[in-house]
Structure 1
């Protein structure tokens, strides 16, 4: 199953296993079971502390559980965890085998203190770059607390469950049989939903912090760069982010970040965070900013307030809150979000195998999505608002060569249709004739650009008509001591490499402001 090179790497990892455990597999005579058996045999052969038992009787076949006989551990995979989930499998093997995680002592204590019974089920797809974070977080929580059970389920392999539960996007998380969450979540996010008192405790922690020299709001490439440049100056630096990594976490392939030939968004986001943590930077995750209160006069402190009621003070502030997917804002879109309306073709595409879908948007991201989906689904209809697609010519040529793709230009989507449970179609207006047309389908992938995350700044810093923070050549906003960087600003060309440079520039400008002010 595994090639020689991968076996060598895995054997080196499994040497870190300190406690013996058993892999209990539930198999049948099917092809997928045989593939899984080959994988488990390979794993079993690489460590003396791992034994394989093929007499499992789980209802989901193929599946396997990782069992420690000296303690209660409930970690299971239903399906063949390859692709993006292979890392989740390796981590689970190590953690069940006694290798400690890098989680902070505070979070470990919070997990172990949870009381009750928590049976989690996570539906994933092998092409989803968001799913491993959820799978790995819940697996680790199940290792740390015997009251927590977790099974990671390949949605493409267990289609009956996916259909029965009307799952249209991954990762989809169920707790004790009821929907718990959807989309990327880490340990902190999951704990915040389970531990209802955590928000108020976080708010008090924020209020108790002393003022920062530089407070960066946002944890994407611009925010990470700004934090590193500030910390290297030896000044007190903090980063408050809704989720560290930002929009990069939702980006699949990155091929134009200078010096890095090819990578993936989540991998780059982890590298950014690891780099920031090499310095004395106070990282405050899961903090959604709600209001900026500028200093009343020179020398006073700026205040940033957050949704949980907490607040932070700083001599200078760098706004790097990035952008989010632009929505169509048509009837039915919100109602059927996650039930046929999706924004990540790489994550959710496999759930629409053999079905009809639409892609909204004819730019590079839309055309790339349509090309990817055409290899999975029965038919793709691409709707472009303008007279012609805006994607690169090579992408357009590739798209037009595919037999199961229909391209409709001058098409304005006006409504998402559904049956109350899932998407059944859409309505678009022909902008030439003003006539409305219906398209029957099961999925809609929206790829129409980004919106700046600046709603919370209205009435404070000056914004452009598009909602971007207006900055000068040094990243200075309309408020002295407040700077902007990255996709949330008026700087053209929303690219990762540009955001990194703008973050560094804003940080250097903030430092210059500090020394001149003092």
Structure 2
């Protein structure tokens, strides 16, 4: 099950255990149960600090608990945590065994302070690249706080549960039997959702911060590059990001970032954050900008008001708020989101194994999604509004070679229909004949491009008819001291490498702006970057 290379790596990790741990298994005679026993025996054979107890009788079989020796509770894995979740298993072993997690201490303290009983169940698939973050967050919480219980359930091994709970998107999290959330969530997001006073405390903490020389709003490739380039000038830099890494967190494979042959989105996002932290940039995560107030005079402070009520001030601001998936905006889309309507074929495709699905969109992302799904589902129907598919010829050729794919061009999606709380079909109009049609299916994947996250800037900055921030060749906006970069701007070609370059350019422009501005009074001047590090 584990090749020699993985075994060697796992043995090195297990050498970091500080305390003995026990794997308490509840097994059955299924194929998964047999494989689980083999996996657990392999782990035990790699460390004298790990023991195995197969006398468990949990209702979910096969499953096992990772617990401290002498304890009976911990993180429970139902099904095999392999694929993308193997790292989650390794971290659960290490954290349970006393190896410290790479998490800020204030986050650990917030987890420990949670009061009440929190019984989490998180459903995941082994091909989901969004799932590990949620699994690892909830695992950490269960290990740190005894009031938190976490069960990680591999949907493929517990298909009856998936069907009964109508789970059609992963990760899907239940708390005390009720739906808690779906999609990627960080540990900070989960804790904030449980701690109702966290937002108010966080807002007060942010508002008390000294002004920044450069405040970057957004933490994707453009924001990260801007932060690094600005910080290297020795000035005070902050990043306020709703989700550090931006869209790259939702990208399966990255194969066109120069000098990096191949990586995946979550790894790339983690590398971005690590480099920004290396330069001691003040990263303020889970922060959404709500309004920007320009400086009242040349060289004055610009104010950025956040959605939680916080107020941040800076001598210059770089906006890199990125973009998000565009909605079809037809009846049924919102109602059946995560009940058959999905946006990530890599994450949710396996949940539609053997079923009929549709892809709305004939660009590269849509056709790539259709090709991916065709290897999993029973049938894929592609709907494209235009008269022909817009994807690269090689992708279109590949798609047309598949026997379980139907393509409709000139097709205007008019409704996503459903019954019993989940999708059962899609209505579309043939734009050539005007005829209406209905196609019976169980899943709809929306792949029609992106929309910039700039709504909060209307009336303050000049925006294009598409909502993009209008910038010049140096990243200047029409407001002095405010710059912009990345997918939220009018710069063509929304690519990671282009966003990173534009972020660097915006930072250099911001620094050029700063050195030409009159000095602020001492009472308003940002604290030098090196002073805080002392």
The two structures have a TM-score, normalised by structure 1, of 0.99
Mark the runs of 5 or more structure 2 residues left unpaired by the alignment.
519-534
SS class of match (1:191)? helix
- After alignment, is 254-263 or 396-405 more displaced? 396-405
SS class of match (2:328)? coil
The equivalences for 1:472-483 within 5 A come to 472-483=472-483
CA contact (8 A) 2:359 2:446 kept: yes
- After alignment, is 23-32 or 251-260 more displaced? 23-32
Partner Cα distance (1:2, 1:332) in 2: 44
Q: Which residue number in structure 2 is paired with residue 192 of structure 1?
A: 192
Q: Which residue number in structure 2 is paired with residue 141 of structure 1?
A: 141
Q: Which residue number in structure 1 is paired with residue 220 of structure 2?
A: 220
Pair 91,232 (structure 1): closer, same or farther in 2 beyond 3 Å: same
SS class of match (1:7)? helix
* Residue 500 in structure 1 maps to residue 500 in structure 2: yes
SS class of match (1:291)? strand
The two structures have a TM-score, normalised by structure 2, of 0.96
Q: Which residue number in structure 2 is paired with residue 18 of structure 1?
A: 18
* Residue 372 in structure 1 maps to residue 365 in structure 2: no
Q: Which residue number in structure 2 is paired with residue 39 of structure 1?
A: 39
The alpha-carbon deviation at position 71 of structure 1 amounts to 5.0
The alpha-carbon deviation at position 375 of structure 1 amounts to 1.0
SS class of match (1:366)? helix
Q: Which residue number in structure 2 is paired with residue 261 of structure 1?
A: 261
Q: Which residue number in structure 1 is paired with residue 467 of structure 2?
A: 467
Q: Which residue number in structure 2 is paired with residue 57 of structure 1?
A: 57
Q: Which residue number in structure 2 is paired with residue 81 of structure 1?
A: 81
Mark the runs of 5 or more structure 1 residues left unpaired by the alignment.
none
CA contact (8 A) 1:73 1:96 kept: no
Partner Cα distance (1:353, 1:489) in 2: 38
Q: Which residue number in structure 2 is paired with residue 436 of structure 1?
A: 436
Partner Cα distance (1:67, 1:95) in 2: 10
CA contact (8 A) 2:341 2:444 kept: yes
The equivalences for 1:48-197 within 5 A come to 48-71=48-71, 73-197=73-197
Structure 1 residue ranges, 4+ long, deviating more than 6 angstroms after superposition: none
Partner Cα distance (2:288, 2:490) in 1: 22
The alpha-carbon deviation at position 39 of structure 1 amounts to 1.2
The alpha-carbon deviation at position 70 of structure 1 amounts to 4.4
* Residue 303 in structure 1 maps to residue 338 in structure 2: no
The alpha-carbon deviation at position 58 of structure 1 amounts to 1.3
Partner Cα distance (2:341, 2:464) in 1: 30
Partner Cα distance (1:71, 1:420) in 2: 43
The alpha-carbon deviation at position 69 of structure 1 amounts to 3.4
CA contact (8 A) 2:65 2:73 kept: no
In the alignment of these two chains, the number of paired residues is 518
SS class of match (2:491)? coil
Aligned Cα root-mean-square deviation (Å): 0.9
SS class of match (1:467)? coil
The alpha-carbon deviation at position 439 of structure 1 amounts to 0.6
Q: Which residue number in structure 2 is paired with residue 208 of structure 1?
A: 208
Partner Cα distance (2:417, 2:349) in 1: 19
List per-residue Cα deviations over 1:490-514 (Å, max 9, x = no partner): 0000000000000000000000000
